[in-house]
Chain A
């Protein structure tokens, strides 16, 4: 039986609060601005999860930036059966040759998608390519890729919010929360339950910050 989504109630705990996210975004923005001082930067966001992070991060960077968006298929999606290979669903809209590129991710866990993207982007001959992620889940790492800017290192828990989804929902939460296990035993549906204003459902639980 499908269970209706309860945007706040489905979250067991807040892992990274809205305030923590915003403070970290400012910190990362300052670091990136200092590192790229005197240069211009291309931010490449990986849809869909990194959109909120990208939107906030770009406004905290003080050097000239342009933005671009990419989307790649995910294993287990409808595209899996058609080709069995990861595909670029949305490519860059402009060349990044000789540009300084910062790849903006919402979360890195296995590193499989990131590994593919890095290889792909390096083939576009950027002047430099660095990686920025809001969340890092190293316990799940298969492919070790150096990450230049990390917001929070988190334990191996299923998180949603601030762009991260389960079944395409929960992205509009303002914080990063841990999804209740009973929620992902059944697929979410959107056609039931009251509309809920996104926001923290209580005192946030501090996540481990790397300060990287």
Chain B
């Protein structure tokens, strides 16, 4: 049976979609496509840690933004040690940007989702593994996201004390030099605007 003419419009995103960092992300995108929920892949990057000089040390790019729902989704099917690092980043993100709505999908959540849809073999395959299909994506852009420079500056002040305490323990692999965002999705107007701001200020 064909799709009904009066059914909600489809927002197919995966056909010409981004290169996902993890197979679970590709699967999640397919699920969203299936249920016709519009999504963007890593459209926004949020600075979360600076050093005393104000240099950006760490950013966080949630995997998905669902614009119709104003919701960010971060998937993690990683090993527990890496989950802890991601949890720490998420805590920082929530402290600095409390108005963000973000949902973290742990391995168990993803597994339950796969079970619901009869894709348990995929969940089992990914469980406890890195599962990356491209290199680490912890590197992030210099600035992005829907927040203006004032907000970011205010957040930087808050972060100074934390960065002073945390900087000696930072893992250089987790804090590479800032790079340009590499997988911006279609229609990411908010991200493009923020990126322009970043470039102008650079």
Contacts and interface: CB of A to CB of B under 8 A. Distances in A.
B35 A112 contact: yes
Contact of A140 (B12, B34, B66, B109): B109
B117 A87 contact: no
Contacts of A113: 35
A88 B10 CA distance: 13
B141 to A, nearest CB: 26
B116 A85 contact: no
Interface of B: 1-4, 6-8, 10, 12, 30-37, 66, 69, 71, 73, 103, 109, 112-113, 115-120, 124
Given A112-B31, A142-B73, A83 B3 contact: yes
Contacts of A148: none
Contact of B10 (A75, A80, A85, A110): A85
Given A88-B1, A140-B113, A184-B115, A75 B34 contact: yes
Nearest to B31: A75
Q: Which 5 A-B pairs have the closest CB atoms?
A: A76-B117, A112-B35, A76-B118, A119-B8, A75-B34
A89 interface: yes
A99 to B, nearest CB: 17
Interface residues of A, number: 32
A209 interface: no
Contacts of A123: 6, 8
Given A75-B35, A84-B34, A123-B8, A143 B115 contact: no
Interface of A: 74-77, 80, 83-89, 91, 109-110, 112-113, 115-116, 119-120, 123-124, 140, 142-144, 156, 158, 167, 184-185
Contacts of A75: 30-31, 34-35, 117
B9 to A, nearest CB: 9
Contacts of B69: 142-144
Contacts, number: 78
B101 to A, nearest CB: 9
A80 B34 CA distance: 8
A120 B10 CA distance: 12
A187 to B, nearest CB: 9
Contacts of A158: 112, 115
A92 B123 CA distance: 35
A109 B115 CA distance: 13
A119 to B, nearest CB: 4
A80 B32 CA distance: 12
B36 A116 contact: yes
B15 to A, nearest CB: 9
B34 A85 contact: yes
A77 B35 contact: no
A116 B34 CA distance: 10
25 contacts: A75-B31, A80-B34, A83-B3, A84-B30, A84-B34, A87-B2, A87-B3, A88-B4, A91-B4, A109-B116, A115-B37, A120-B4, A120-B8, A123-B8, A140-B109, A142-B37, A142-B66, A142-B71, A142-B73, A142-B103, A156-B112, A167-B118, A184-B120, A185-B120, A185-B124
Contacts of B7: 87-88, 120
A116 B4 contact: no
A82 to B, nearest CB: 10
A119 B124 CA distance: 34
Nearest to B124: A185
A167 B117 CA distance: 10
A20 B19 CA distance: 49
Contacts of A124: 6
B27 to A, nearest CB: 10
A116 B8 contact: yes
A72 to B, nearest CB: 9
